[in-house]
Every structure is written in structure tokens, then in C-alpha cells.
Amino acid sequence: MVSKVISAAYLTLWISSSVFTSAQDPYMTRALELMSKTPLIDGHNDLPWQLRLQFNNELNKVDLNTLETTHTNIPKIKAGRLGAQFWSAYVPCESQYKDAVRQTLEQIDVVHRMCEKYPETFMFATSSQDIMEAFNTNRTASLIGVEGGHSLDSSLATLRTMYHLGVRYLTLTHSCNTPWADNWLVDTGSEPSQHNGLSTFGKQLILEMNRLGMLIDLAHVTEAVMNQVLDMSQAPVIFSHSSAYSVCPHKRNVPDDVLLKVNQTGGIVMVNFYNDYVTCSKTAKISNVADHFDHIKKVAGAGIIGFGGDYDGVTRLPEGLEDVSKVPKVVAELLRRGWTDEEVNAALGNNLLRVLSQAEKVRDALKETRPDDVPIPYDEHSSGLRV
Ligand SMILES: *[C@@H]1O[C@H](CO)[C@@H](O)[C@H](O)[C@H]1NC(C)=O
Ligand SMILES: *[C@@H]1O[C@H](CO)[C@@H](O)[C@H](O)[C@H]1NC(C)=O
Ligand SMILES: [Zn+2]
């Protein structure tokens, strides 16, 4: 319970700012109305990495109510109406073949501890149903995505164990090849392809993720991997933080033919706000971000779009989108551009909810299938180290 003095002060602030926004911008008023009924679900936020980088994961020494050295804190989350977040359990590629698994467990642990420390703000979540329960009780549903297959050390047992710890997506690679999948840098020509996409073990892993109900994230992989997974996965896939290649030709972005396949398979592309992926330059504006939303809608429909801001994982964000409190401005911009309420609600959260519940259905349909216990061939496991 907040003291009367403080809540009166907040109330005055709230009234004056909401009068200001509605007088200034009816689209913002409409955006906030829609966001009060449909959760904004964001695909990728690196706050856990900042907790490691800045505080060695010593959460007891951090106050998320006042933290100012990150894009994300509790007041910003509330102002940004963040309904659900996939928190990224990311560890650098340098940990591959070393202590990647331990470091990833530490990142998973810090998300669990964050939810326990601030139960009024966060609800740990592992399902589409959890997301709605958190939203209906005014908390941010907190899911975990592991960013990079190197975090598994090529072990299906590690994949399964991470699922049990609550992990609900795996980005197949970060910016390094794993012994079973190629990363996007291969498409830039700066690294050689090792697998022409996925190896046989990589394909086993896709089916095991389908069986578990873990979402397959294709941000960071090569186009060959995107296409192979789209062709074989039984569940729809996600791009947790990627934008449109036709708007900004960066190899981290998604080309139009892949957007069409995402439409055909019912998946989602969650738009990244990083300037370098938005405009292919160091600067960007909100309108440039909205251009990605418009383009994806034009090519493949509003049914495959989502938000994947990449806050706290990037160094440059568009003017006006400097932290997570600003996301409603994108929603207002889409309304200004003629997006219908239904299209906006789809992009906010309904698309991701559809994808996650479909993955849950595939899991349920496969419950008689046995876990895959065939390991990666011994001589492939350390192929990244072979010279
Ligand atoms: C959530 O917040 C809304 C708006 O402030 C309020 O009407 C509702 O009662 C709250 N719900 C819960 C379960 O706290
Ligand atoms: C894919 O596009 C068609 C129209 O071309 C549309 O009817 C369908 O709903 C779209 N699927 C998704 C998942 O958005
Ligand atoms: Zn990333």
C-alpha cells in the first residue's frame, strides 16, 4: 500500500500526463485503451544480461524500482504497459565448449530470482494460459528464452532440463555456428558454412523441441536454416527479434520469401528496434520502425507480426523509443497509419498467443512419442574447434 501523499502526487502526474497525451494525440489514447485489453508481449529483452554485466547477478544489491543504467526498470515497465516478456538467457559465444551451460543456468536463475523479489510486478510464466493470468492480475508475465544453441553443449538432455526450468524458446544460434546449425554471419560471407543449414543432429533437435513444446526461434540463423526449419517443424516458429530485410537489407533481418513461409505455417516475426536493423544506419525514428510493421503486413499480413524490441541488448535505439516505457508510441503510430484495432491487437499479443498455444497443442499431440536419446555423433560435437 502506497502512502496517501505519494499516491496523490502520482495521481496528479497521471491526470496531467493523460490529459496532455489525449489532447495531443488521440491515437495514443486509443493505443493505451487497446493495451489495457490485449497484452503487449515482447519477444526479447536482455535485462538479465545487464544484471550479469553490471552487477554480477547480485540482485540483492539492485533496486529495479530505481535502476537507471538500463533500458528496463519497473516504472518503465509499468509506463510501457509491458504485458509479457521473454527475458533472454544469453551468454556469449566465447563460452561455447567451455562453461556455456553453467552460465546459462545462472541467467535462468537470475530471472527466477527477479520474479521472486518483485512478485507484484512479475509472474513467472511458462504457458499461454499463464500469460493471460498474469495480465489479468496486472503483472508482467515473465518467460525465458535461451539465446543461442551453444548454451546446450549439443545435448538433448540439456535442452529437456532447460525446458523443465521454464525455458520456452531456444534461438538455434547466436552469432556463432554450433556443431549442428549455421549462424547468420555465414550469409554475410564472413564465416564458412559448416552444415549447409542444419546437420542431422540439428534436425533431431527440432523434432525434440516440437515434442517438448519449446518454441523454435530463428533470429540469428542463416536463410538455409530458416527454410529447413520452416519446412520440417510441426509447430509454428518465431523470430524473437528480427525485422524486415526488404526495408533494411541486414542479414539479421527476414527476407520476403521467408515472411511468406511464416504466414503459411502460422508463425511470427517480432520486430527488432535496433537502429542498425531498422535503417541499416546508426540513427532511426519511430516512423522507420513502423515501416517494418507496414512492410511485413503488406507482404504476409498482420497475423505474423509482433514486438521484439531487443531492449538492453543493443546500444542504439530510435529517437523516441529510448527505453521500454516508450513502446506505446509505436502502437499509436500504427493506428495513425490506419491499422485496425484487430490488426493492432494481433501484433500486440494475439499472434504470439496463437503461436504458443499451437506449440502446446503439438506437444500434447506428441505426448506418446518417446524422448530422443540418440546423442550427437562424437566426432561432430567439437567440429567448431577442428582445424
Ligand atoms: C488491475 O488494474 C485495474 C486497473 O487499474 C483494476 O481495475 C483491477 O482491479 C486490477 N486487477 C487486479 C486483480 O489487481
Ligand atoms: C496468411 O495470409 C492469408 C492471406 O494471404 C491470410 O488469410 C492468413 O490469415 C494469413 N495467416 C496468418 C497466420 O497470418
Ligand atoms: Zn540477439
Positions annotated as catalytic residues are: 44, 46, 147, 174, 220, 241, 310
Q: Which numbered atom of ligand 2 lies nearest the CA of 266?
A: 13
307 bridge partner residues: 42, 271
Reported confidence tier of residue 269, pLDDT bands at 50, 70, 90: very high
Q: Which ligand is nearest to the CA of 358?
A: 2
Q: From the CA of 8, how far away is ligand 3's center (Å)?
A: 41
In the DSSP assignment, the letter for residue 303 is G
239 bridge partner residues: 269
Predicted confidence at residue 383, as pLDDT, reads: 52
| Protein residue whose Cα sits closest to atom 6 of ligand 2 | 301
Q: From the CA of 2, how far away is ligand 3's center (Å)?
A: 38
Residues 6+ apart with CB under 8 A from 326: 80, 320
| Protein residue whose Cα sits closest to atom 12 of ligand 1 | 137
The proportion of the chain whose per-residue pLDDT surpasses 70, expressed as a percent, equals: 93
2-369: which CATH architecture? Answer: Alpha-Beta Barrel (3.20)
Our answer on whether the CB atom of 36 is closer than 6 Å to any ligand 1 atom is no
Mean pLDDT, rounded, of the chain: 94
Written as one letter, the residue type at 334 is L
Contact 78, 327 (CB under 8 A): no
Predicted confidence at residue 24, as pLDDT, reads: 79
- The grid coordinates listed for 64 are 529495479
Predicted confidence at residue 13, as pLDDT, reads: 47
Q: Which numbered atom of ligand 1 lies nearest the CA of 36?
A: 4
The pLDDT tens digits of the residues spanning 161-183 come to: 999 999 999 999 999 999 999 99
Evaluate if pTM is beyond 0.85: yes
What residue segments make up the domains of the chain, in order of their start?
Answer: 2-369
Mutate to test the pocket of ligand 2, among 257, 260, 263 (most ligand atoms within 8 A of CB): 263
